[in-house]
Every structure is written in structure tokens, then in C-alpha cells.
Amino acid sequence: MRALLLAAGLGTRLRPITNTIPKCLVPIHGRPLIDYWLDLIFEAGVERALINTHYFADTVDAHLAGSKWKDRFATVYEPELLGTGGTMVANAAFFEGGPFILAHADNLTDFDVKGLIAAHEGRPEGCAITMLTFRTDDPQSCGIVELDGKGRVAAFHEKVENPPGNQANGAVYVFEPEVLDFAKALDKAFVDLSTEVIPHFMGRIFVYDHPGYHRDIGNPQSLARAHEEFPAR
């Protein structure tokens, strides 16, 4: 299986840290975030990955040139950000017509990649997406999911004041080719997954709940907590 790691964001909530470094290179215990992701997916057997770049792209490329995994991934530069779905559409040929992982690589996580793939392979009939979820300690700041009796997403509650639970969208997915086909049919350069693609598949999204660590390090407070909670590796 192939993977798309979305790593091009501006990291505005992490300023002033990201005034001089892109979010994907922010260190946790001295290691850039993107290095955790590369170890995670390739040690689990992902065949190849594509990483999009934009902000401080030259700095990202220079770092990745020294990666032990450099023969297993490529980067693609976006002069203008294409959105979380637009990158997928612009690089459709990379996925070779098969299912693939798409991940917002701005989270620090230790999820079981093989477990996610196995869950997708065993998903209920008709499901085109398998979504990683996790248990958040701040449900008001996340997209909380409600499930039906078969483990499929029945409703989303995006950053509401009193969400019904704490099971949150982890922004890691396995997509069947029809998801990419739907996004392509929108015929737009900029596509947002959360508002333009995911809602179309409501009732056809299976959930793989991750019991381990998963945190968006999008602000200085969350980054500080990650340093306290996540073991050095």
C-alpha cells in the first residue's frame, strides 16, 4: 500500500516556533515530527509515500535528503496549497488505482498501521473509507464521531461545545479509489476533505479506534504536553 503524508501546512497556531521552521520539522525529543511518521509507516510495510511541501520547502527537502528512508518516498512541491483533498487529486497517478493511506502528518501518533490496514480489509460491505479515531482529552477542539451498530460513522460533531463523547477523528484514513474519483469529479484545484469529500461518504466510513497515543501538536501548549507524554525514541 502507498501513503500520502500531508505536511505542507503553515503551522500558524505554533508561531513563533514556526516562524523559522516548518511544522513537520518541529522536534519532539530532538527528532523532527516527520521522522516519526516515516519510521511508523515504513516499518509497518508501507511500500512508498508521497510528502507534499510548501512552507520552507527547501528546508524540508534538505532534511529529508538525509533520511534512511529516502529511497521509499518522494516530495511534491505546491506553489499554492491545494487543500487536504487537492493534493490527492493532483497526484492521483501516484496511487496506481489502488487503496491508499492519507494522513495529516501534523499529529504525533503511535497508531498500528498494520491494524488500520487490516481493519480496512475487513470493513463492512459498502464502506469506501476507514478512519482512524482516538480518545481525546479535549473533545470540544476535535471532530467527534458517532457510530452506528456496525462501527460506521453515523454523525460528525465538529468542534462543538458539548459533543456526545470523546471519540475523535484522527485525520488518518484508508481510501478506496472511488474516494479519489469523487474528489476528481469536483473538478477543482483546491479541495477540502473534511467539508467536500468526507461528508459525501457518510454511512460508508468504517472506524478503526486507536487506543494509544495521538495528539495534534498544533499549538505550543499541546507541543509541550507531547514532550511530557510521548516517550523518547
Q: For residue range 38-64, list pLDDT tens digits in order.
A: 999 999 999 999 999 999 999 999 999
Q: How far apart are CA 29 and CA 35, in angstroms?
A: 12
Element (H, E) at 84: helix 83-90
The CATH topology of domain 2-132+171-229 is: Spore Coat Polysaccharide Biosynthesis Protein SpsA; Chain A (3.90.550)
Whether 163 has a pLDDT exceeding 80, the answer reads no
Q: Which pLDDT score is estimated for 27?
A: 93
Which of residues 159 and 31 earns the better pLDDT score? 31
Q: For residue range 90-111, list pLDDT tens digits in order.
A: 999 999 999 999 999 989 999 9
Question: What is the biggest distance separating any 2 CA atoms in the chain, rounded to whole angstroms?
Answer: 48
Whether 138 has a pLDDT exceeding 80, the answer reads no
Whether 218 has a pLDDT exceeding 90, the answer reads no
Whether 214 has a pLDDT exceeding 90, the answer reads yes
Question: How many of the other CB atoms lie within 10 Å of CB of 47?
Answer: 13
Q: Which pLDDT score is estimated for 166?
A: 86
Please name every residue paired with 134 in a beta bridge, in sequence order, or none if there are none: 168, 210
| Nearest alpha carbon to residue 124 among 148, 157, 156, 155 | 148
Q: Tell me if residue 99 falls in helix, strand or coil.
A: coil
Confidence of residue 137 (pLDDT cuts 50, 70, 90): confident
Q: What is the pTM of this model?
A: 0.94
Q: For residue range 107-132, list pLDDT tens digits in order.
A: 999 999 999 999 999 999 999 999 99
Whether 24 has a pLDDT exceeding 80, the answer reads yes
How far CA 34 is from CA of 63, 100, 121, 201, in Å, comes to 10, 19, 27, 29
Q: Which pLDDT score is estimated for 33?
A: 96
Where along the chain do its domains lie?
A: 2-132+171-229
Mean pLDDT (whole number) for 128-147: 86
Q: How far apart are CA 146 and CA 167, in angstroms?
A: 8
Mean pLDDT, the chain, as a whole number?
Answer: 93
Q: Is the bond preceding residue 27 a cis peptide, omega within 30 degrees?
A: no
| Nearest alpha carbon to residue 33 among 225, 216, 220 | 216
Q: How far apart are CA 56 and CA 174, in angstroms?
A: 28
Q: Which pLDDT score is estimated for 161?
A: 76
